[in-house]
Structure 1
Amino acid sequence: MGATILGMADMRVAQDDCSVCSTDCTAITLDREAIHDLRNLFGIVASARHMLDDDPNAERRAMLLAAIESAALRGGDLTTKLLTRAPSTDANRIDDINQHVISLQPMIQALAGRQANIVFDLATIPIPVRLKHGDLDAALLELVANARKAMGNSGRIMIGTRRAGACLWLSVADDGRGMDEVSLVRLTHSNERPAAHGSGFARVRRFAESAQGRLRIRSGENKGTIVCLILPVAQHIAVV
């Protein structure tokens, strides 16, 4: 009997250890995601600063300054959360995805840099989605960063939205070097954790899963890449 009770106690301790480990692993993953997001925000600030040296016109200068301000504010919030371990206050909201993408245009333009021609091919009708803006923004900026890295001295990045039934298709396409079949399989089936280095694809994949969506990617060597986030459409747009 004593041995049985002891065995049960050991089992409970093991279960408790697993629970603690699971919590710690989740916290580590979130920290790594935040660090990876910070890298992209620093990239926006640095790129916008260099683009200001090109003596842009007033409109472009205002756009670049807006990108620096937005990235700095978001970076400050992320740093505070990392230091204090504060839970995220980013709640799900219903908004038109098209208007939200437009609001990110300054940061997207800055992150893409001088060499990229950014094209927005957005749906002509509102598409309401219920999402945490912080997570969506981080995923979209990660896809833009990856598209930029795939290009040479110049290229085009196209960001598009379409509605197909009850789903939103949010796509980021580039005409960069693309991937061969082996690289594509490695990317889509990798267990890579989000980190300060790496492709960041795991970050995007985790967002798609948390948003009850799917992720699709098509690429060919020297034929560019297109990544689609397929997300559920909400019933209506929130009125603020």
Structure 2
Amino acid sequence: MKKIKLIKVIASTLMVASILALNPIRANAEWRKDSKGWWYAVGNSYYKNQWKQIGGYWYYFGYNGYLVQNRIENGYYLNSDGAWATGSEEIQAYVKILTNPKLLKDKYGLSIPNSLIKSNTSYSTDIVDINKDGIYEALVGSETSHADAKTSVFTYKNGNIQFAGDLGNDIYYSEKQNVLLGSVMFQGHQTGGVYKLENGKLVKVHSFELINNLFKESYVIDG
């Protein structure tokens, strides 16, 4: 009897080992986070530059492996959790215009190369609720060269997309102060400003410039 029990234990152990060998991803895959964001580790590797379904939800991982969040990526909205979702009314409207690069150029003046218009390439953009009013804005970057690189901001009101204004090609968002910082760099000369969103338009409240490592700034009070 002891011998039979021993064989059964060995057989069971071998069966478990076989199952783990056939399913190594499930045993070793997990979400991880660092100061830059979330990624999904799979053994000694990780997902990157691809879509993946995890726990019943679809996620997109960028070229660097980090989870893409709060962004419209190639016509698909990824929410604050990074999961693919339909999104609110304004987000659905942004998705629609981002799949029409010719409209973005002709109607809103974005710097879009003709090659992207001919191929009808869908644009990607970050989604931010700038002034925390419950309506998301779209921050669309475009350029045909470094000289005309810019970020165009769109908002949504009364069922229509509104063009809020253009910023520099380097954009930062302060969630604490509900403002955008935009700047451009040309021949070592950096200029920029801090903007808030008022009545559907970007309003500059603070300007700065950096020339030969000398920092100058000015403020605009009450708009």
* TM-score normalised by length of structure 2: 0.29
Q: Normalising by structure 1, what TM-score?
A: 0.28
Q: Which structure has greater helix proportion?
A: 1
Q: Higher strand fraction: Structure 1 or Structure 2?
A: 2
Which structure would you say has the larger Rg?
A: 2
Higher relative contact order (CA 8 A, sep 6+): 1
